């Protein structure tokens, strides 16, 4: 049985990222006559960046692997490779996904990588579902 979880955004994200981005977009839009094509290009680039930022990450627990989907990127992690999860408060700062959450995030440790910080909407439920699929999973709460 597949189970799907979505990521969450922290309130500071809206103030710290969206408000300045919207302001830059508006300034660029009103300077079209002076800057010409560069203003339109910057507005288009900001819209693409905003779309990527607002696209929520989806965590899909399938029969044999965890699939993490973000816009058009996918990562599949076989359950046998997942060794440990740390549940607690962490600051997430990864590229365009700035500060998606800092309360109740999960650090996922698995073979072949250092670790991955994820922020499902229901972190405890996510860990319970993951534990059912990976019985030997070590869970550390901070």
**Span 80-102, pLDDT tens digits:** 999 999 888 765 544 434 444 45
Kindly report, residue by residue over 38-64, the tens digit of the pLDDT. Answer: 666 777 777 777 776 666 788 999 999
Q: Quick one: pLDDT band at residue 14, thresholds 50, 70, 90?
A: low
CB 118 within 8 A of CB 105: yes
Choice between 124 and 114, residue whose per-residue pLDDT is larger: 124
Residues 25-43, mean pLDDT to the nearest whole number: 68
Q: What is the DSSP string of 11-80?
A: HHHIIIIIHHHHHHHHHHHHTHHHHTHHHHHHHHHHHHHHHHHHSPPEEEE-SSEEEEEETTEEEEEEGG
Torsion of the alpha carbons at 15, 17, 23 and 29, rounded to the nearest 10? -150
Q: What pLDDT is recorded for position 117?
A: 81
pLDDT band at 105 (very low <50, low <70, confident <90, very high): confident
């Amino acid at each position: 049985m597949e189970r799907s979880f979505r990521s969450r955004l922290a309130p500071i994200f809206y103030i710290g990222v969206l408000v300045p981005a919207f302001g830059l977009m508006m300034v660029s839009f009103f300077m079209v006559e002076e800057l010409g094509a560069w203003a339109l290009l910057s507005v288009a680039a900001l819209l693409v960046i905003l779309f990527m930022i607002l696209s929520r990450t989806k965590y899909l627990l399938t029969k044999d692997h965890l699939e993490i989907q973000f816009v058009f990127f996918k990562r599949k992690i076989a359950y046998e490779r997942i060794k440990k999860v740390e549940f607690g408060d962490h600051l997430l700062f990864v590229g365009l996904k700035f500060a998606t959450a800092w309360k109740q995030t999960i650090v996922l440790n698995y073979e072949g990588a250092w670790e991955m910080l994820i922020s499902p909407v229901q972190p405890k439920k996510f860990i319970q579902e993951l534990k059912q699929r990976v019985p030997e999973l070590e869970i550390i709460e901070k």
